[in-house]
Structure 1
Amino acid sequence: MSREALRRWLADPWFRLGARDMLATCLGIAAWGLVTGVAMVKIGMPPALAVFMSLVVYAGSAQLAVLPLMAAGAPLWVVWLTATCVNLRFVIFSSMWRSYFAHLPRRQRLWLGYFSGDVIFVSFMKRFARPEPQPGQVPYFWGAASANWLAWQVPSIAGIVLANAIPLSWGLGFAGVLALLGILLSMLGDRASWLATLVACTAAIAAFALPLKLNILVAIAAAVAAGLAAEAAERALRRARQRSGEGA
């Protein structure tokens, strides 16, 4: 991107609005990134590989989910399956992004996919409720994505670099849990999300005795199944109401 193009992006009011909308969650994301960076090094991952993982994977929930498995020496297929299950929600996100960005070139859509995130998705859908292309959507997305990316990568890399200087007695793990809870609660906006969360918590506790942290995988699978079932039930209920209204 040229310097002139960058100046135009930064001057765009939609870009600035997207960045401002992310400020409320940036502190939680930063704490989450710092904890993840420290955790990657603490389990024995070389700092260079940890930086590579942070920049390329860029998926905090998946990274935190697989790190205990890697530390426990879980088979590679368990690590991959866990990461895949955690990221299944992005398949749903992408089907909804399609209504807004399907007209863009493939290369740009690939970049949009890399920078997409949970909080960005929620913020974007609040601003653009109608599933159709509208002016301002692309710069808004990039404003939100830039703020989210920096809020994650800078603390994550700082955690990687300073991991050996940060003692475990600081309780960063607990700080990371609080950050995740704050972000999670801000995203629970419907019955399906609440049901999936409650099912995940119950399944994780019930399967806690499983080896290799497999209770995480069980919780993810149960939450996805519960969420999809709840959404399907809500859609069926809406269709039934529409039919009854038309019949009346």
Structure 2
Amino acid sequence: MRSGPRARPTSSRASGGGGPPPRGAPGGGRPPRGGGAPRPPNPRRARARPPAGPAASLRWGRDGPPPTADDLSRARRRAPADTVADWRAQSAVLLASPAAHDPELAGRATTLMGVRLPLADHFRVRAFETWVHTDDIGRALDKPVPPPLADHLWQLVRLAVRMLDRAVGASAEPVALTVSGEGRAVEWVLGSQDEPVAAEVVLDPVDFCLLLGGRSDPAQVPRGVAGDEAAADRLLNRASALSWL
């Protein structure tokens, strides 16, 4: 099992304070593709790897058989209010569970949907997919859906980084990933810890999460890049391929 590191803030602003973001993310918003790139890779700088978590297979799946055509047909015939009521009832059960109120229980690992994670991370996965699918509905109806609150969004960012780190593996070429926006900027080094950083990539937190959720084209997602662009592209493609939502 890989021992995970603490993320290294790119500056004191990572705790949520103000001030300009690092180069590659002008104005704290989404870094422009191909412009405003972060500083060139520095093989001597201290590295941080993503936070640790229990080892997990990334073969995301579902508990039980997949829905059949009949299941989907019945769901389409349901009144929307019935579906919303069922979803809210499920959410109420989750939020009333002991693990939602006890940090010790929330930290215990369990296997759901084919992945072993702390219960707290399974809650975050549920929050992640709820947001992404709500955004899907909003796009279909041409109604903008706001992103999660900043503190909640950054929990999803850290979850996504942990999953991406496992998918990349400890022997991959190292790429420094900076997620910058919402008043914060945090950097992780993914891949090998024994080689110089091949590239640096800067992404907005919403763009990063939607990329991991399979809702953004890795060739089109706004980013700042320095160093080996091919290495950066490989990381972005791996992130997109990881989608489980």
Whether the TM-score (by the shorter chain) exceeds 0.5 is: no
Q: TM-score scaled to structure 2, two decimals?
A: 0.24
Q: Which has the higher helix share?
A: 1
- Which structure carries more strand by proportion? 2
- The structure with more radius of gyration: 1
TM-score by length of 1: 0.23
